Amino acid sequence: MKRSFIIMAVFLSLMLVSCGGSGPSTKLNVTMTDFQFQPSQYTVPAGQEITFTAANNGAVVHNFVIMKKGTSAGPFFDDEDVPNVYWQVELQPGASADTSFTAPSDPGDYEVVCRTEGHIASGMTAKLTVVAEQK
Ligand SMILES: [Cu+2]
């Protein structure tokens, strides 16, 4: 009896954790390594203030760059892509960031890339999904 209660409690807490990961969140917590974002998919509510914490656990500079809706940096980030940046933050190796940004007001999918040379080609991309606020 006692044991089944414990199993149930563990199961319920796991369910809560998985639910928390899939819904829109006003907090993003990203770990950067050489060469990926962990996690690499984020869902945020439109127009909200998003708390952004990140750590660069890699050996080189990494960036978290949100591209404007409908734009893509393509296979590499160059000068042409600069006007298409929605928001970005740069992290030196071993550094961490604790900042915030306002989520785009337009729901949809936004490309996230690392603009450090060669990192998109190495697979350093992610996806930000903006969802309309539920009232
Ligand atoms: Cu990078």
CA of 72 to the centre of ligand 1 (A): 16
Residue (of 40, 74, 36) closest to 57 by Cα position: 36
Residues 67-97 have pLDDT tens digits of 999 999 999 999 999 999 999 999 999 999 9
Query: 12-65 pLDDT, tens per residue?
Result: 555 554 444 468 999 999 999 999 999 999 999 999 999 999 999 999 999 999
In the Cβ-directed half-sphere of 107, how many Cα atoms lie within 13 Å? Answer: 6
Gap from CA of 91 to ligand 1 centroid (Å): 9
Q: How far is the CA of 3 from the centre of ligand 1 (A)?
A: 46
Q: How far is the CA of 124 from the centre of ligand 1 (A)?
A: 6
56 CA to centre of ligand 1 in angstroms: 9
